[in-house]
Every structure is written in structure tokens, then in C-alpha cells.
Structure 1
Amino acid sequence: MTEATERFFESLPTRAPTTLGGLATGTLQIDLGTDHQTEHWLVRMRPGTVRASRERGPADAIWYSSSALFDRLITGEAQGLAAVLRNESTFSGDVVLFLTFRRFFPNPPGTRDPRQVARQAAGRGS
């Protein structure tokens, strides 16, 4: 596992209040594979709070990703839902937990809020 992945999971509790709100409650197990080894993370999500630990356990959903893909997700170079749809990662269980967790990933580099783009375009047209 990379240092960036470790820092990502460590940052979740401080980012949870603004990222989660009341969206989901449950436990997501994230399995990150490298070669023939799998690292496990158990992420317990409650409205406004997250607790992440390096363990396996009973979970409402399980998401498997390669460590390399996960590193691209945490830098915004890849998108979680697209990776699942392309079968680059797999998911089973409560899909709401996956859809909620992906909000912790950054937007792709260079992404701009479409509302801001529209405001800027409207300002130039006046």
C-alpha cells in the first residue's frame, strides 16, 4: 500500500462532516490488491462521521480494487463508478455505500464547476 492511500484513509474522519451529511449508514469493506496480496480497510459510515481501520469484518458492502487503481482514484485521475462499469474493480452489497464513499475522491484535475462556468459566461455576455 502506498503512503498516499494511508493518508487518504487517515483523512476521512476530518472530511466526513462536509462530505457525508446524512447520506448513508453502513460498513464498507475495501480490499486493495497488489500482486498476490490483499490489504483490507473497513470503513464505518454514519451521518457526518467515518471510522476507517485496517481490518476485515462484517460489512454491508465489499469493494475490490487494485492498489494502482485506488491510487489513481485518490488523485482524481480515475473515477470509481467508471472503473466498476469497466470491470476494473468489483462491488457487491449496498450500492448506496459505494456511491456515498466515492464522494471522498477528488474531481479530475482541471475540472470546473459547471455553475461557475455558466456564471462566467453570463458575466461576459452582459
Structure 2
Amino acid sequence: MGATAEQYLQQLDTGRRSDLPETTAGTLRLDVRDNGSTDHWYLTISDQQVQVARSADEADLVVGADRWVFDRMVNGQLHPGVALLRNELTVQGNMQLLMLLRRIFKGPSGARHPRELGRAAMAARASGRSAAGARGERS
């Protein structure tokens, strides 16, 4: 298994993240339940940056789940929307911020964004056509 949610959040890069929408701002509190206790992680999102703190302060969106659910989301093994539909996590507040978790948490190892895959496929087709065209002109 990869990193735990706690390990990931502790080392989360606070620099600019181009994968976050420029206009999105808000606060999320992650309530991570384990063995009868709850750890609180407070994420502040603004200007494509994420600041992480340990706090139980009120937030625009509060997401609660067992530790194993957050661990699976961090490792790209569980989409937040799927976890919500399975009642594996609870949310209260601005639901639009829920999908930011998918961008904040890394995907599975080796995963690539669909747009990146599409661009690579288009480039491969274009280079294949130009090579075939060049061969045809020489014949």
C-alpha cells in the first residue's frame, strides 16, 4: 500500500498547483476517524495553492470518513464521488469543493490525465502520417 492520508497531508506541497482552478477558493476540513478518535485536517485553498493545518475549525466543507477511506483516496484507489455514493464518507457544506479532493490527492501510480493521453495519441498519429507521407513522396 502507498502513503497514508496522514503522511500525504503532512508532506503536501504548498506551492502553486496548476491542476487547481484559478478561481476556486475555500476551506475543507477532513475528519479522519480511527479507533474511536478523530483527527482533523484543515485545508485552505486559494490562488491555486493548498495550505494544510491541524484544526477542528469550521470550514466551507467538512468531509468525514474512516482512516482507510482517506488512505484509499490518497492513493488513487477510491474516487471521492464513489465513496460518497457508497456512504463511506459524509459531507456537510459546499459540495462543489468535494471534487477538489480528487485533484489534491494524487492519482494511482503511473496515472496520466486523459487530456495528456489524448495529446500523445494525436501527436503519434500526426508523426505517423507525416512519416508515411514522406515515404510516399520519395517512391
Give the TM-score normalised by structure 2. Answer: 0.73
Aligned to 1:83: 83
1:68 correspondence with 2:68: yes
Aligned to 1:105: 105
What is the CA deviation profile of residues 42-101 of structure 1, one whole-angstrom value per residue up to 9, with x for unaligned ones?
Answer: 111112222111111021110012111111111111111111111111111111221123
How many pairs does the alignment contain? 123
Aligned to 1:22: 22
Please give the alpha-carbon distance, in whole angstroms, between the structure 1 residues aligned to 2:7 and 2:35: 22
Aligned to 1:93: 93
Larger Cα-atom Rg? 2
Can you give the 5+ residue segments of structure 2 that lack an aligned partner in the other structure? 130-139
SS of equivalent residue, structure 2 residue 4: helix
Aligned to 1:115: 118
Work out which structure has the larger RCO, using CA pairs closer than 8 Å and 6 or more positions apart in sequence.
1
CA contact (8 A) 1:78 1:108 kept: no
Aligned to 2:46: 46
CA contact (8 A) 1:72 1:78 kept: yes
1:24 Cα offset (Å)? 1.6
Can you give the 5+ residue segments of structure 1 that lack an aligned partner in the other structure? none
Give the TM-score normalised by structure 1. Answer: 0.80
Change over 3 Å in CA distance of 1:120–1:6 after alignment to 2: same
Letter in 2 for 1:48: Q
